[in-house]
Amino acid sequence: MQQPEFMKLMIDFNKTSFENTFNGIKGMQEQTEKMILSMIEKQPALPEPVKKSVLDWVDTMKKSREEFKATMDSNYKKLKEFF
């Protein structure tokens, strides 16, 4: 096996490992989000600014997670093209 072929296999393995880990963490974050949103809905005494802050935090977390994933996908693509 040539070294470039071996490196491509290593990159594929690493990318698959990353994606599996990322998807697991994403699932945990989504479940936490559902739990938090459910708790917020059941608290009528919770002030509106607090609810808005939590919802903004959840949206920021989602956006950051997707930007991170897009960056990693792009970097894996560039790395694979390099080899």
pTM of the predicted model as reported, rounded to 2 decimal places: 0.82
Distance of CA 37 to the CA centre of its chain: 19
Q: What is the pLDDT of residue 34?
A: 95
State the amino acid at position 17 in one-letter form. Answer: S
Average confidence (pLDDT) over 5-13? 91
pLDDT above 90 for 76: yes
**By percentage, how much of the chain surpasses pLDDT 70?**
99
Q: What angle do CA 31, 71, 25 make, to 5 degrees?
A: 20
Q: Contact, 13 vs 82, CB < 8 A? A: no
Q: Contact, 9 vs 83, CB < 8 A? A: no
Average confidence (pLDDT) over 10-30? 96
Mean pLDDT over the full length of the chain: 92
pLDDT above 90 for 82: no
pLDDT above 70 for 62: yes
Distance of CA 36 to the CA centre of its chain: 18
